[in-house]
Structure 1
Amino acid sequence: MLTRGLLSAAFAVVLLTVGASPAAAIPPGDQLLVIDYYSSGDRETLIGQKWRGCPGQEPGQWGRTSTHMGFHTVPC
């Protein structure tokens, strides 16, 4: 019983520690968010993009969208 309690407590600490750190920190400052759309899950053929986020710049896009996506940011 004591071992089970210790394991549960250790697991909870690990979950809290992992959950507290950001998965992908966005750098400070104005950033353009770019969403890449690919033809398949292997992400070899880019078929479209959408972007938004820079002050004074309208959101834009080209190509097609799909369920196979990737995200990245670039400075404005």
Structure 2
Amino acid sequence: MKLQKLLGAAVLGAGFAVIPATSAHAIGGPNTLTVIAYFSDSGKQTVVGQQWSGCGRPSGQWGDTTPYLSLYFPAC
């Protein structure tokens, strides 16, 4: 059993070592606005805050941050 756990941890660790790191800015791309919408609960029906950046415009935010969020990448 210990050998299985050790082998599983080694495989998982090797998998993470192969995945390239990407900056948050690179995810959306240069002609994309990055928007984070924060919701009041896990049902994600009521937006209580937002953050945005990109498109060569100033970043901004309003409202509250919560653990319930969604990411959006609309074109500029």
The normalised TM-score by structure 2 is 0.58
Task: Give the equivalent residue in structure 1 for 2:65.
Answer: 66
| CA deviation map 1:8-46 (0-9, x unaligned) | 2343123321x2436xx8254333211101112221212
Would you say 1:44 and 2:35 are equivalent positions? no
Q: Distance in 1 between matches of 2:43 and 2:31?
A: 30
**Matched position secondary structure for 2:74:** strand
Q: What is the percent sequence identity of the aligned residues?
A: 31
Q: Distance in 2 between matches of 1:28 and 1:51?
A: 14
Work out the number of aligned pairs and report it. Answer: 68
- Structure 2, unmatched stretches of 5+, are 21-25
Across the aligned residues of Structure 1 and Structure 2, the Cα RMSD in angstroms comes to: 2.9
Q: Distance in 1 between matches of 2:28 and 2:35?
A: 14
Runs of 4+ in 1 over 3 A off after TM superposition: 27-30
- Structure 1, unmatched stretches of 5+, are none
* Larger-gyration structure (1/2): 1
The normalised TM-score by structure 1 is 0.58
